[in-house]
Amino acid sequence: MTATEAAGAVPAYAPRLPGGHLPWLGPVRAFGRDPVGLLSAARERVGNAFRFPLLGQEVHFACGPRAHAAFFGADETVLSAREAYRFMTPVLGQGVAYDAEPTEMEQQIGHLLPALGSRRLEAHARVMEEESEAHVARWADAGEIDLLAELNRLTVSIAARCLVGDGFHRRMGPQLATLYRDLESGIRLAGVLSPKAPLPAFRRRDRARAAIASAIAEVIAERRAAPGRATGHQDVLATLLQASDDRGKRLPDETVTGILLTMIFAGQHTSAVLATWTGLLLLRHPRHLDAVTAEQFGVLGAQGHVTPQALHRMDLLERCVREAERLHPPLTVLMRKALRDLTLDGHAVKAGSLVMVSPAVAHRMPDVFREPDRFDPSRYLPPRCEHRPPYSLIGFGGGKRRCVGLAFAYQQVKTVWSVLLRRVELTSTGGEPRPDYSTFVAAPALPRSVRYRKLPPETGNTTRDP
Ligand code: HEM
């Protein structure tokens, strides 16, 4: 409770940004192009809370750990994620995720949890390592690559195998990466307004969803027909096929398909983007790149296998990934719809407003992170531990709705880099790319190519001198 509330005074609305000539549309073009730039600049001008119109909606933006605690802690009946993210239904499917009743979505996520727990992460680590090794093995001895494109292909393979299984991965082959891209390109500002508009991107989105869903449905049908048959790695689908609802009924196939699509959608491109930023930041900071490479050879040598225990010992790599999460969070804006009038961190918010927080803006607050624009993995070491204060680092959300795939994503990014750092020497081809904030997941803009040279198999970090 703030001092204003304690004194019984009615909280005021946050200041309103000038609407310009478009009081209904608001700064829609600038927001679509660069929401983070717009929100950061406004925060510097007017402070941590402000309002603005956007496509006929009142937006209330709030920034800072206290506001985040209120945002993530609010009940769904007050600040609704479901109402804010409904525009994703054409991608995720009807009756799942944000299209399901909140209690149902909770149950759907509950079915997933065993598949993401620590015992299962061990099996996932093997797949992540196998896929990373196989991916690098296909490269020529030296060359130049678009890092994001490569890591996207790699994380598509990992997601396909870990979530839906080896058979699905083999069946779909390389077309899966293209289908995912089409699916994701269907999430854009126009989709928030009118998800069914006759846009070419939406037609591609719908075709991609239908193709992936039908391939998943075929795998489900095969598994249901031969329940005892070994499927290789214990994938997430296996867990969902064993799950039942509170009346003991098995989950309908469309729900299983929808949950898998939700996970693929939530976790694949986001992980590829986080992994890409991790690499690009390391390349910009050779001292850290050398140290993190030395850590890899120290923990695993050239031939050791990646296990959750080994990953646990890669403390510097973990802190570098965390710095990438802080400086370039893949999801830059998180939203809720206010279902009734409320007070958020001392400001009144009208029912019907869209309430926003932004990891990308919040992670650059100098009173939360010292010298926030600096890549500095040591900020997470004692005594600084700048990620410890609740709701300071929010790249994976917070509270009840914190990302359920956090451990999986960190494990994946660390495994990919553990393999890459021990198999290839990387060099940057230019400056650090800027984030492209116009897309739903903020990837580095082009050019983002890096040069690599494969290391001889017997290498024990002899080519680098930390
Ligand atoms: C780098 C990778 C990832 C990032 C940056 C990320 C980020 C996030 C964020 C910020 C939220 C909270 C959204 C909000 O509060 O509005 C979230 C929720 C969620 N994430 Fe992730 N995520 C990642 C990977 C994954 C993976 C790998 C999975 C699944 C395997 C996953 C599944 C989910 C699900 C199901 C939710 C919804 C949770 C709920 O509402 O209760 N995510 N994620």
CA distance 146 to 450: 7
More confident residue, 183 or 281: 281
Model pLDDT, residue 178: 87
Let me know: does 358 contact 35? Beta carbons within 8 Å. yes
CA distance 464 to 461: 6
Ligand 1 proximity of 336 Cβ (cutoff 6 Å): no
Ligand 1 proximity of 191 Cβ (cutoff 6 Å): no
Task: Find the 140 Cα to ligand 1 centroid distance in Å.
Answer: 35
Task: Find the 5 Cα to ligand 1 centroid distance in Å.
Answer: 33
**1-93+332-388 fold:** 3.30.43
Q: What percent of the chain has pLDDT over 70?
A: 92
CA distance 238 to 234: 6
Ligand 1 proximity of 81 Cβ (cutoff 6 Å): yes
Task: Find the 129 Cα to ligand 1 centroid distance in Å.
Answer: 22
Question: Which ligand 1 atom lies nearest to the CA of residue 274?
Answer: 1
pLDDT above 80: residue 7: no
Let me know: does 209 contact 93? Beta carbons within 8 Å. yes
Q: How many CB atoms lie within 10 A of CB 183?
A: 25
CA distance 370 to 393: 13
Task: Please name which of 461, 454, 462, 411 lies closest in space to residue 135, comparing C-alpha atoms.
Answer: 454
Taking CA atoms, 109 is separated from 78, 305, 417, 424, in Å, by: 21, 31, 28, 38
Ligand 1 proximity of 71 Cβ (cutoff 6 Å): no
Placement of tokens 């956007």 in the chain: 54
Q: How many CB atoms lie within 10 A of CB 247?
A: 5
Ligand 1 proximity of 334 Cβ (cutoff 6 Å): yes
225-269 pLDDT, tens per residue?
887 676 666 899 999 999 988 888 999 999 999 999 999 989 999
More confident residue, 76 or 20: 76
Position 22, amino acid: L
Ligand 1 proximity of 266 Cβ (cutoff 6 Å): yes
> Widest CA span of the chain, in angstroms?
71
Would you give the distance in Å from CA 206 to the centre of its chain? 22
Task: Find the 400 Cα to ligand 1 centroid distance in Å.
Answer: 12
The pick from 333, 403, 412, 415 for probing ligand 1's pocket by mutation, whose C-beta has the most ligand atoms within 8 angstroms, reads 403
Q: What percent of the chain has pLDDT over 90?
A: 71
Let me know: does 273 contact 409? Beta carbons within 8 Å. no
- Residues 6 or more apart whose CB falls under 8 angstroms from that of 423 comprise 133, 136, 454, 455
Q: Name the closest-CA residue to atom 25, ligand 1.
A: 267
- Phi-psi label, residue 187: left if phi above 0, alpha if psi -120 to 50, beta otherwise: beta
Ligand 1 proximity of 108 Cβ (cutoff 6 Å): no
- What are the b/e assignments for 113-127, b being 16+ CB within 10 Å? eebbeeebbeebbbb
Beta bridge partners of 343: 348
Question: Which ligand 1 atom lies nearest to the CA of residue 412?
Answer: 27
Number of H helices, E strands in the chain: 20, 10
Task: Find the 143 Cα to ligand 1 centroid distance in Å.
Answer: 34
350-379 pLDDT, tens per residue?
999 999 999 999 999 999 999 999 999 999
Let me know: does 105 contact 85? Beta carbons within 8 Å. no
CA distance 169 to 265: 16
Model pLDDT, residue 466: 33
283-308 pLDDT, tens per residue?
999 999 999 999 999 999 878 899 99
How would residue 465 be classed by pLDDT, with cut points 50, 70 and 90? very low
Q: Domain residues of the chain, as ranges?
A: 1-93+332-388
Q: Name the closest-CA residue to atom 7, ligand 1.
A: 396
313-330 pLDDT, tens per residue?
999 999 999 999 999 999
CA distance 268 to 276: 12
